[in-house]
Amino acid sequence: MTIAQWRSGARRVGAVAGFVLLAVPGRAVDAQGVTDTLVAPTAQIIALLRAQVFTDNGRYYPCRNIPSCSSWGQNLAVSDPKITVDGPRLVVQVHLVGSYAMNAYLAPQVAGDLILSGVPVTHGTRVSLDQPSVQTGAADFTFQTFIQATHTRIEQMISESGGFDLAQYLSDASRNPQLPPPRIPGAQCLDPSEIRIRSVATDPAASAIDAVVIAPIPKRRAC
């Protein structure tokens, strides 16, 4: 093979590689790296929550290990997450059961559907819910009274939570193909510091969350 033939072949390979990069829907390539729009349908988000959050026999105890909440909600558990999109808001419905410590002598049992909603926003590499709102779904009088007494606390917990570290998860997904989506197409062994989260927003038409992320151009790496 002559040098000219080798260079010609290299140009063809480069052209094919560039085409493959740009062939991914929602992808743009520039000097900053690769910008992808990751679309996470609500069914995908539910699968992610079940795998990462609802890991105690399908339940999650939101107040455990949180001092401001454990004093009254230590035994509260949520399960059966359902997610919908309502305009700019992400709506999460869960079934809540457990005992609510009203005081040292009274801890009634409560059970009912809790509806949380908020506007997805980014804070660095994390995604959280802004403008949180708490409502009741199917519930009896005791549960409705419980929500009336605690909704301000719950909304404050949502506002003060660290949110979901999307960059860390995308890094983990680039190393472990067994994790559920979302993932950056073609990415391998990325470090969280290499991933930037530009924006997140609901996509009502697709019943999904869209996240615009920037990462290095995909290439083979050893993890």
Structure pTM? 0.81
User: Contact, 115 vs 82, CB < 8 A?
Assistant: no
**DSSP letter string, 153-170:** HHHHHHHHS--EEHHHHH
Helix (H, G, I), strand (E, B) or coil at 36: strand
Please give the helix or strand (H or E) that residue 51 lies within, else none.
helix 42-52
d(CA 175, CA 146): 43
Place of tokens 């808001």: 89
Nearest in space to 151 (alpha carbons), one of 119, 121, 117: 117
Kindly tell me if the per-residue pLDDT of 10 is higher than 50: no
215: confidence class by pLDDT, cuts 50, 70, 90: very high
Collect all residues with Cβ–Cβ distance below 8 Å to 16 and sequence separation of at least 6. none
pLDDT at 16 over 60: no
Confidence of residue 102 (pLDDT cuts 50, 70, 90): confident
List pLDDT tens digits, range 157-185: 888 888 899 999 999 999 999 999 999 99
pLDDT, average across residues 109-134: 95
Does position 189 have pLDDT exceeding 60, yes or no? Answer: yes
pLDDT at 26: 62
Tell me the average pLDDT across 84-97: 97
